[in-house]
Homo-oligomer: A and B are copies of this chain.
């Protein structure tokens, strides 16, 4: 029942945005009684934060699993970067973006979203370092990994109002080639 509520919440965030998502709409869509919903999640903020956390973790785990099965060598960097680009342009990103933007002007929501974003950000960073197989103790490597994640976040934002996939693909291919040149010393090590 908890999972049904969380999935319904993310769907509504994607379809109607933060302002258009109400606890009543969520319980209707999930087919869960208001009482049961309030037992699990007393407020809208509890619900939306738990929903984005749940989906982000599930998608993050799927992504880590997919990355673990990528072949080594040649086109690995390109594949990692493209998978990150797709991940940050998915409906889960749109739901997270709704929460993020709402939290900017809502102190109570920010108190919950801030720590969540930090945790998610650290996890994405750790996973990307592992996927690229790079050594962060070398100068500049940490910044390039962070830049990669900020780039896909920027591309994700662009993709929310237009279909930006062809442009995204071209940019990420070029970016992967740049990363390979810059990280060459690491990959050879």
Identical subunits present:
2
**Chain A contact residues: over half helix, strand or loop, or mixed?**
helix
C-alpha spacing A105/B16, complex, angstroms: 6
Residue of B nearest to A152 (CB): B154
Interface bracket on A: 35 or more
Q: Does chain B have a CB within 8 A of A117?
A: yes
> Which of A116-174 touch B at CB < 8 Å?
117-118, 140, 143-144, 146-147, 149-158, 160-162, 167, 170-171, 173-174
Q: List 10 additional contacts besides A18-B19, A20-B105, A140-B174; criterion CB under 8 Å.
A: A17-B102, A17-B106, A19-B19, A100-B161, A114-B162, A118-B162, A146-B171, A149-B154, A151-B154, A178-B182
